[in-house]
Homo-oligomer: A and B are copies of this chain.
Amino acid sequence: MSETPIKRPGGRSARVRAAVLDATLAELTGRGYDGLTVEAVAVRSGVHKATLYRRWGGVDGLVADVLSRSAGQPWQVPDTGSLRDDLRAITHEVYAGFTDPGHGVTPRNVILAALRSPQGRQALTAFFEARHGQAAAVVTRSVARGETPDGTDGADVVRTACAPLYYRLFVTGEPLDEPAAHRAAEAALAAARAGVFVPRRPGREDGSGDAR
């Protein structure tokens, strides 16, 4: 979609792309998301400026393509045997990915850069759609085990678990720590058990009754 159809994928174009995207990531790591410049990427990658503008259109396209490449690489969905631990593993992974010094500030800067343009946000949408789709499996398995109400929307459970983390990280700017990540997983779990994510079911749709 954001990918220009390459008619000669034979070696060079692929090499150029890899070099450029790696350089983009490196720049994003070093100078941050607002210091990202086409010229800097050109210098670092050894690819000429004009080529970058031709193939990617500008900084936005570079960031979007970085995300596309990330979305392509598959991802290991946790499978611990219980929904609670699966959700905790997911939120912990998100937490670690954005706070561990190992990864550095790179993932954060990639997202921040993507948020700056419609093109980047479109790539973000695709990225999260892929992730949510895969992660929903933890709910599917939980339903199969009888842990969770039938018909629970798996993607929605995952969304609810992850949303507070991204909300803190990218919207409110509040600090994100491990307890907060755990609480988010617990909240999604409690809501899933209560049947909040079962569509159409009148269920506990109403009533001020005690759910505890």
Per assembly, the copies of the chain total 2
Q: Does A115 touch B at the CB level, under 8 Å?
A: yes
Q: Which residues of B contact A34 (CB under 8 A)?
A: 116-118
Q: Does A31 touch B at the CB level, under 8 Å?
A: no
Report whether over half of chain A's contact residues are helix, strand or loop; otherwise say mixed. helix
A residues bordering B, Cβ < 8 Å? 34, 82, 84, 111-112, 115-118, 121-122, 124-125, 128-129, 132, 147, 149, 156, 159-160, 162-164, 166-168, 170-174, 183-184, 186-188, 190-191, 193-197, 208, 210-212
New A-B contacts (7) at CB < 8 Å, excluding given A186-B196, A187-B187, A191-B191: A128-B173, A149-B212, A166-B171, A187-B197, A188-B191, A193-B194, A194-B211
Q: How far is it, in angstroms, between the C-alpha of A211 and the C-alpha of B187 when the chains are bound?
A: 12
From B82, B111, B163, give the contact of A163 (CB < 8 A). Answer: B163
Contact A191 B186, beta carbon cutoff 8 Å = yes
